[in-house]
Amino acid sequence: MNIFSGKKILLGVTGGIAAYKSTFLTRLLVKAGASVRVILTPAARDFVTPLTLSTLSKNPVLSSFTNEDDDNDLWNNHVDLGLWADLMIIAPATANTMSKMVTGNIDNLLLAVYSSAKCPVYFAPAMDLDMYKHPSTTANFEKLASYGNYMIPAGDGELASGLSGKGRMAEPEEIMSFVGKQLEQDLPLFGKKCLITAGPTHESLDPVRFIGNHSTGKMGMALAHNLANRGAQVILIMGPSSVNSEHYFIHRIDVTSAQEMYDTVHKHIAHQDYAIFSAAVADYRPATTADQKIKKSADTLTIELVKNPDILASVGAMENRPFLVGFALETENELEHAFAKAKKKNTDLLILNSMKDKGAGFGTDTNKITMIDRLGNAEVFPLKSKELVAKDIIDEVIKRTQ
């Protein structure tokens, strides 16, 4: 998964020879997981066909306010299109189109959508050398930038006129790189680092049996995705779980036991801005692990257990620790035990779950939490999806750290 995955993108194509590159750009965007809708100016149809772009984008290509082949004369609503998009790219952007973008001369569907767009707009100029250097063009570049648009610089090279110089539209890969980097920088947590533990741990009794719990890792995964969607670089240390973690900003490390999780946490904890420990770590492990499967013989079986290292407490005791969020799952005297744990483990926030709350705990798609800070304040949240619970937690982390 990358920064374009799931993005809704309007691609505007204007009437220049570089319009052929829009086919390659469309293919790259779709391959990256974006949903792409293409709008052609009337002049662009002389350079690239709607059939080609509709095939590549997997969406109908628009070029007028009504569909010419539709007997019902359905209107292509430029306002709806502008609201639909997460971002808009105009490539190529000819001198003529940029002039109209500056002056508000809305004489085609693309310009109407541009003027209605609420999303970031990127434009990739393409024209001949002298046109590119003309003072009116330079002024339009500056004016469009002052409107909040992002200019993708043209490159040097051979131009359609046979001249060589500035004005060649950026290559599709360069456009993807430019827009991708800008999207990353615009994310609120871009540059922040977070370590998250999630899922259960399994403590082996023998080669086929283990001590574990019913944690699925869904809550930790929701937290990881929320942070990653806001631009944070996430190290996700996951116990045994089948939950999918694919994301551009998530680096997943799979572990099995509490000791492995402890070792992995301390290997990566340095220089983290946040640490969120949502894993359901086994408190104890067998003192010894049998090399062979334990055979059923006597009516009872005694297993000696020893305490596992306390990951949360070990990080809470660090001198230069990150902002620390812990989880507590309780079955009785919930607040009393949670307050004691928050103090003992030295957390900045402690997220309390109660097994008494319907829809909370292991294996569900929902959760109900109480958020406790280091001053002893407690805030109760209603039952929500784990994605919305993750948002509440990360919102609070951001509020307390920025």
Whether pLDDT at 306 is above 60: yes
Confidence of residue 73 (pLDDT cuts 50, 70, 90): low
User: What's residue 156's pLDDT?
Assistant: 82
- pLDDT at residue 161 greater than cutoff 60: yes
Q: How far apart are CA 385 and CA 329, in angstroms?
A: 17
Domain residue limits, the chain? 8-186, 193-401
CA distance 15 to 374: 61
- Enumerate helices (H) and strands (E) in the chain, giving the number of each: 13, 21
Pick the CATH number of 8-186 from 3.40.50.1950, 1.20.1730.10, 1.10.10.60, 3.40.1280.10: 3.40.50.1950
Pairing of strands 203-204, 284-286: unpaired
Q: What is the pLDDT of residues 206-215, one digit of tens each?
A: 999 999 988 9
Structure confidence at residue 75 (pLDDT): 61
Q: Which of 53, 42, 51, 50 is nearest to 14 (CA)?
A: 42
Using the predicted structure, report yes or no on whether residue 12 has a pLDDT greater than 90: yes
**pLDDT score of 160 more than 80:** no
Cα distances from 211 to residues 93, 221, 260, 332, 376, in angstroms, run: 62, 22, 15, 23, 34
Of the candidates 282, 344, 337, 343, the residue with the CA atom closest to the CA atom of residue 308? 282
pLDDT for 78: 78
* pLDDT for residue 247: 84
Please give the model's pTM, rounded to 2 decimal places: 0.76
End-to-end alpha carbon distance in the chain = 28
Q: What is the pLDDT of residue 26?
A: 98
Of 156-170, 201-215, 339-353, give the lowest mean pLDDT range.
Answer: 156-170
Tell me: pLDDT of 155 over 80. yes
Q: Is the dihedral of CA 372, 374, 375, 376 positive or negative?
A: positive
Identify the band that residue 71 occupies on the pLDDT scale cut at 50, 70 and 90: very low
User: For residues 265 and 260, what is the distance between their CA atoms, to the nearest angstrom?
Assistant: 9
CB 250 within 8 A of CB 193: no
Reported as type and span, the H/E element at residue 390 is helix 386-401
Mean pLDDT of 43-58: 96
What pLDDT, on the 0 to 100 scale, is given for residue 82? 84
- Known catalytic residues? 213
| Residue 150: Cβ within 10 Å count | 17
pLDDT of residue 319: 92
Comparing 143-152, 164-173, 299-308, which segment has the lowest mean pLDDT? 164-173
| For residues 364-390, average pLDDT | 92
Inform me whether the pLDDT recorded for 69 exceeds 60: no
CATH, domain 193-401, list 3.40.1370.10, 3.40.30.10, 3.40.50.1820, 3.40.50.10300: 3.40.50.10300
As to burial, measured by CB atoms within 10 angstroms (0-12 exposed, 13-18 middle, 19+ buried), residue 243 is middle
Tell me what pLDDT residue 70 has. 47
Q: Is-same-fold flag (8-186; 193-401)?
A: yes
Residue 142: exposure state from Cβ atoms within 10 A (0-12, 13-18, ≥19): exposed
Average pLDDT, the chain: 91
pLDDT at 361 over 70: no
